[in-house]
Amino acid sequence: MRLPIEAAVEKYKQSLFAAAFAVCGNPDDSDDAVQEAFIKYYSSDKEFESEEHLKAWLIRVAVNRAKDISSSFWKRNRVSWEEYMETVTFEAPEDSDLFSAVMKLDEKYRAVIHLYYYEDYQIKEIAEILGSSESAVKSRLSRARKLLKIMLSEDWNDE
């Protein structure tokens, strides 16, 4: 099963961008990771079992590329997520607070939070996408939730 490249881009570009952004925290790097994922899809002749398999594969390629970008020399010359926050609009103020708290987490926690809550992947699928064990994903998800609870309750108590 393969989708035409235009259909795949239209259908998955937002999910790939969000997953890549959760890893590298930079919109330009995220765009690059997404673009490279679609280039790899376009240039491969790989057949996919289903659209879910295709989406998972694309996200894995984008996340891996975002990791590569994050560990490169250019990472030191990027725009911070705080600067990017100024360009993003949220429907409710608490959405902005939650986004800020998630972005303060380490990359390994941001990625699992994003894939679990925003992309609705199961633990097993996240483990496959990130190339980790299921127990590592469960542990990271649990730690991320605890950290978010602490950060958000501190913010809430300060008000």
Token duo for residue 101 = 């708290």
Phi, psi of 131 (to 5 degrees): 70, 35
Residue 57 and residue 5 share a domain:
yes
Q: Note down the domain range covering 63.
A: 1-78
Instruction: Examine residue 116 and state whether it is found in any structural domain, yes or no.
Output: yes
Residue 3 and residue 71 share a domain:
yes
Which residue among 78, 106, 133 closes a domain? 78
Residue 153 and residue 100 share a domain:
yes
Residue 53 and residue 20 share a domain:
yes
Which residue among 13, 48, 78 closes a domain? 78
Domain count, the chain: 2
Band of residue 89 on the pLDDT scale cut at 50, 70, 90: confident
Enter the pTM of the model: 0.67
Token duo for residue 12 = 């998955």
Residues with Cβ within 8 Å of residue 81, at least 6 apart in sequence? 25, 26, 103
Residues with Cβ within 8 Å of residue 46, at least 6 apart in sequence? 2, 57
pLDDT at 66: 93
Residue 72 and residue 108 share a domain:
no
**pLDDT tens for residues 39-61?**
999 999 999 999 999 999 999 99
How many Å apart are CA 62 and CA 121, to the nearest integer? Answer: 16
Percent of the chain residues past pLDDT 90, beyond the cut: 63
**Of residues 83 and 124, which shows the higher confidence score?**
124
Instruction: Examine residue 4 and state whether it is found in any structural domain, yes or no.
Output: yes
Is the model's pLDDT at 78 over the cut of 60?
Answer: no
pLDDT at 83: 67
Instruction: Examine residue 84 and state whether it is found in any structural domain, yes or no.
Output: no
Is the model's pLDDT at 158 over the cut of 60?
Answer: no
Which residue among 50, 78, 106 closes a domain? 78
Residue 150 and residue 101 share a domain:
yes
Beta strands in 56-118 (DSSP E): none
Three-class SS of residue 106? coil
CATH number at 70 reads 1.10.1740
